[in-house]
Amino acid sequence: MATETRLLALLLVVALSAPVLYAETLEDFVTPYLYPGENFSSDAGATQISAGGSQFVLVKVKGVESFFLSRSESGGETRYAFVNDSSRINSAIREYYASANYHNATELDHLIGHISAFNASRYPAEFECKTSIGLDRPGATCGVTRCESCMNVPFCADKMAYFGSDFAASIHQFEVDTGAEQQGLKNAVAAATAMKGGAVDAAVYSSYLTGNLTAAQAGAQAVQTNHLFGCFEITGSQLAPAGLEWCAYRSSARMNSQWCRDVPANFSQLTEAMTDSNAISGRIVSNASALSRAQALYNSMNARFNFVRMSEENESFRALYSQVEGRASNASRAASIILARVSDDELSADLAALSELLLRVSQYGIDRNFSAANASAVQLFVLSEKVDAETRNLTADFGAFMGLNNDTALALFRARLYLDPQDRSLIARLNAYSEEKEEIDRVVGSGLPMSRDAVAQFSNDLRFIGQEADDVASEKLGQRTLQAGTWVAGAARRVSIFAIDLVAGALSLSGDARETYARTLPTVAIIASGAFAYFACLAVFALLKARGVIRLNRLSVVLWAIIFAFLFVLMGVAVATANSVVQQEMTRSTFDLFSSRLAAANSTAVIVASDGAPAGALPLMSSCANAVSASLSASGKTVRVYALAGGACTEPSGAAAGDACTRDVAGAPALVLGYANQTTSSFSVYYSTRGFVSGPASFHSDCLVARALAGS
């Protein structure tokens, strides 16, 4: 049996070595080995590879790596041959992808720089704390029950008799956590330095680097909660429990409860180092991955060659194998798509097993062992179902992550719409969250597969960012409810609108003129009302004086003068206060007021202001306007879309809109979409309800404003 196996293997090698053809084209060589339903011109793609001083061609068929061929030139003719050694395939693939995707020294220096910055942020306070408890000395240690390091520092030793066992336990835990932190950072720097040299297995060292950074981060976070920096988990008690008298428990007594000062560790630097490490790790082709791909290619070529032999010998088995291979290919193709975005060890292993099982079916066909081929085909279908299930689960997880990513982008956008330019602190917070979101977008947009752990971590980060963005918007809305919004401002707005609408027809005022008068009329009316009231008081006084009701002497003249002076000041204060309230209402023009007015309206207009927009952005702006229209129409509104260029208002078809444009824009809330290098927004709601939102082409492509207005 062993002799027959060796003979079969020898025949297979000979068979694969035989096709060394003086083919004119790659198509001539590959076409005989294509399966039914495959076409070289539409389904095959070739990648030229240089490795080890030789030239190779990697051929994918329908997106699946299927052939690995050697290529040479001789006498003006191109020769192709199967590479029948999986070790040689592995070596070539490894060398090619290492040169194409390998990390560089600059990236590693950048990572090491983040670690150094983190060390610099924690070192002074952490070393000061170690000094106070004796852990700064070489070889110093602190046991749980016998803390020798503290006993060697008089100031610390004097306190041990009074502080109880928790004090020594806290010092011991501090030693453990800082040791893990320091060792993890040291190992991470060593791994990155070794990778810069290029003589190590990058995949192994990259995993070692990430693992040590994770351990260092855990240690650093544990340090922050040590009782040496305050016992904050027990609050509300005036007296500490027995044995913990050294540590205060009231949340307001933080400074009095600390043995050591806070360590201001810059965790953002450590997070950046983790991000860089994950990005580097994602690009590295491990030895196991390269070997798996090499074996899969070798198996694919064997399967195709064997399929050709089987098709010639047994047409019925050819039909069976075609069905089996089609099922396995469908499962492999779907899995390969999601594995290009998210890596998963179990799914990758099942794909390799699927390839091996397909090869086994092929071998049984060659051996004409059709019963075994049928049994293996059943196993293959079962494994294909498992691969499909894993693919669906992984796709669902990634889809949920991408949905969360989109929702977070919307939350940031909505929060930014609520803010005014003077909300500097809220804008700064929102900018910080936007930068964290952009870091995640850079990893997602790199095209490299992410680990499931990275997807989970990023999902948690996105939930945090989205919640913080919602909190910013809620905080702004909370501030808004405290601002003046009294009946005086509302009445002034209604009076302004009534007065302007009354005279607009007679004077043929334009929309801009109406807006201007609406903003100035309240101030004029308030001042006029105050002056009228004051002079009315003077008139009443003069009338009473003329009728002899009021008699004046030297003292009463002085008193009446004081009264009217006080009345003048009081009237001035009242006028100024009323005008301030009205003006505040006029400037309350953020997104919440605009959206509430829009929600209350039955019709609205969406305007594409194309002035200054490049030609390539115009289709995106129009598409976004249509998306906004569809979003608003879904809530039962009548929506008209117009284009505004050079002062001319047109229908989407290009026909002049004429009076319809003026009527719809002036009589209903309107949203104007413009073009700008940076995303900006402003809103006007006092007389007319207008929203002005501008941004670059990418802004209109994402069209978050359509989702932001959904339900309005």
pLDDT digits (tens, 9 = 90+) for 302-355: 888 877 776 666 666 777 778 888 888 888 888 888 888 888 889 889 888 888
Residue 278's pLDDT is 83
Residues 451-472, mean pLDDT to the nearest whole number: 90
- The phi, psi pair for 409, rounded to 5°, reads -60, -40
pLDDT of residue 14: 41
Residue type for position 407: D
| pLDDT at site 220 | 92
Among residues 113, 108, 118, which one has the least CA distance to residue 216? 118
Predicted pLDDT of residue 400: 92
Are 515 and 688 spatial neighbours (Cβ–Cβ below 8 Å)?
Answer: yes
Weakest mean pLDDT among 73-87, 530-544, 677-691: 530-544
Mean pLDDT score of the chain: 78
Quick check: 15 pLDDT over 60? no
Structure-token pair, residue 325: 């291979």
| DSSP type of residue 34 | P
Q: If you ran DSSP here, which 8-state letter would residue 153 be given? A: S
Express each pLDDT in 585-607 by its tens digit.
Answer: 555 556 777 887 888 888 888 88
Q: With 80 as the cut, is the pLDDT of residue 472 above it?
A: yes
Q: What is the pLDDT of residue 389?
A: 92
Pick the closest to residue 191 from 266, 99, 112, 101 (CA basis).
Answer: 112
- Per-residue burial over 268-287, b = 16 or more CB atoms within 10 Å of its CB, e = otherwise: ebbbbbbbbbbbbbbbbbbe
What is the C-alpha separation between 336 and 347, in angstroms, rounded?
10
Q: Which of 54-68, 281-295, 625-639 has the lowest mean pLDDT?
A: 281-295
What are the pLDDT digits (tens) for 416-439? Answer: 888 877 888 888 898 898 899 889
- Where does the pLDDT of residue 217 fall: very low under 50, low under 70, confident under 90, or very high at 90 and above? very high
- Mean pLDDT on 124-146: 90
What DSSP element (H or E) covers 655?
A: none
pLDDT score recorded for residue 509 = 52
pLDDT at 448 over 60: yes
Greatest mean pLDDT range, 261-275, 308-322, 565-579: 261-275
> On the CB side of 462, how many CA atoms lie within 13 Å of its CA?
23
Of 212-221, 317-326, 342-351, 358-367, least confident by mean pLDDT is 317-326
Count the Cβ atoms, other than its own, within 10 Å of residue 427: 16
What share of the chain has pLDDT > 70, as a percent? 74
- The pLDDT, as a whole number, for residue 352 is 87
Whether pTM > 0.85 for this model: the answer is: no
Of residues 211 and 251, the one with the higher pLDDT is 211
Q: Could you tell me how many residues make up the chain?
A: 712
pLDDT at 283: 67
pLDDT number for residue 9 = 43
Query: Among 138-142, 191-195, 202-206, 402-406, which is the least confidently predicted range?
Result: 202-206
Report the pLDDT averaged over residues 148-153.
92
Half-sphere exposure of 642 (CA within 13 A, CB side): 24
Exposure string over 292-321, b if 16+ CB within 10 A, otherwise e: bbbbbbbbbbbbbbbbbebbeebeebbebb
Residue 11 pLDDT greater than 50, yes or no = no
DSSP string covering 102-131, please?
---HHHHHHHHHHHHHHHHHHHHHHHHHHH
Does the pLDDT at position 130 exceed 60?
A: yes
486-503, pLDDT tens digit by residue?
444 555 555 555 555 555
Please give the sequence-ordered ranges of beta strands (E in DSSP) within 307-388, or none if there are none.
342-343
Residues 404 and 469 sit within 8 Å (Cβ to Cβ): no
Residue 194 reports pLDDT greater than 60: yes
Q: Are 130 and 91 in contact (CB under 8 A)?
A: no
Three-state SS at 590: coil
- Check if the beta carbon of residue 188 is closer than 8 Å to that of residue 273: yes
- Residue 206 pLDDT: 79
Q: If we measure between CA atoms, which residue out of 488, 478, 672 comes closest to residue 574?
A: 488
User: How deeply is 24 buried, as exposed, middle or buried, from its count of CB atoms within 10 A (0-12, 13-18, 19+)?
Assistant: exposed
Angle at 12 between CA 6 and CA 17, to 5 degrees: 125
Q: Would you state the pLDDT for residue 178?
A: 93
- Whole-angstrom Cα distance, residue 290 to residue 313? 34
List all residues 6 or more positions away from 415 whose beta carbon is below 8 Å from its beta carbon: 430, 469, 470, 472, 473, 476
**pLDDT above 90 as % of the chain:** 15
Q: What is the 3-state secondary structure (H, E, C) of 431-481?
A: HHHHHHHHHHHHHHHCCCCEEHHHHHHHHHHHHHHHHHHHHHHHHHHHHHH
Give the span between the Cα atoms of 472 and 408, in whole angstroms. 13
CA distances from 110 to 107, 193, 277, 399, 703 (A): 5, 12, 10, 32, 35
pLDDT, one tens digit per residue, over 77-117 is 888 888 888 888 888 877 776 665 556 678 888 989 999 99
Q: Check pLDDT > 70 for residue 370.
A: yes
Cβ burial, residue 569 (10 Å; 0-12/13-18/19+): exposed
CB 597 within 8 A of CB 669: yes
- Cβ atoms 89, 66 nearer than 8 A: no
DSSP labels, 216-250: HHHHHHHHHT-GGG---SS-S-SSPPTT-TTS---
Is 460 exposed, middle or buried, given 0-12, 13-18 or 19+ CB atoms closer than 10 A? Answer: exposed
Q: What is the rounded average pLDDT of the residues 191-210?
A: 77
pLDDT confidence of residue 176: 95
